[in-house]
Amino acid sequence: MVNNQTIILLYILFIWMVVLHTFEEISQEIYNTTVGRITMTKRKYLIGAGIITTINLGTLSLIISGSNIGLYLGIFTSSTIGVLQAPIHAFGFFREGRKARNLGAGFYSSIPLAITGLVLLITILKEI
């Protein structure tokens, strides 16, 4: 397989993991969480999830077109949306008393998402 095809397939898997992670957070009603002065509502959460999905699909289309901008955006998305999910959700999970609620919502899917994001990040960095 050509390395670009590997990146494309990994990015499709990454998007799939982000969608599964979003479904887990929705099922655990993360949109009822308040962090400091930030109050999450269902509307704000769904708008944010839509923006993240749009960014991911746009990045995938740039990667497919062979643009280097897509690879650089892929570094950003795989590191922030992917790799950073595990420590953030692990912190929330342990803060909530080892329960996947409130800040710990999304903990179980954040681990495979972070692994996929890390593999994608390493693959993109090797390509650049």
**Average pLDDT value over all residues in the chain:** 87
- Among the listed ranges 11-20, 29-38, 56-65, which one has the minimum average pLDDT value? 29-38
- The conformation of residue 18, written as its DSSP 8-state character, comes to H
Contact 89, 110 (CB under 8 A): yes
pTM for the whole thing? 0.87
In 3D, which of 117, 30, 41, 38 has the Cα closest to residue 74?
A: 117
In a 13 Å sphere around the CA of 57, the CA atoms on its Cβ side amount to 7
CA 110 – CA 127 distance, rounded (Å): 25
Greater confidence (113 vs 100) lies with 113
* Identity of residue 128: I
Sign (positive or negative) of CA dihedral 77, 32, 45, 112: positive
Q: Which two tokens stand for residue 106?
A: 């999304």
The answer to which of 1-5, 114-118, 123-127 has the lowest mean pLDDT is 1-5
Per-residue pLDDT, averaged over 96-111, amounts to 75
3 or 6: which leads in pLDDT: 6
In the chain, domain spans: 3-127
Q: Which residues of 71-91 are buried (b: 16+ CB within 10 A; e: fewer)?
A: bebbbebbbebbbebbeebee
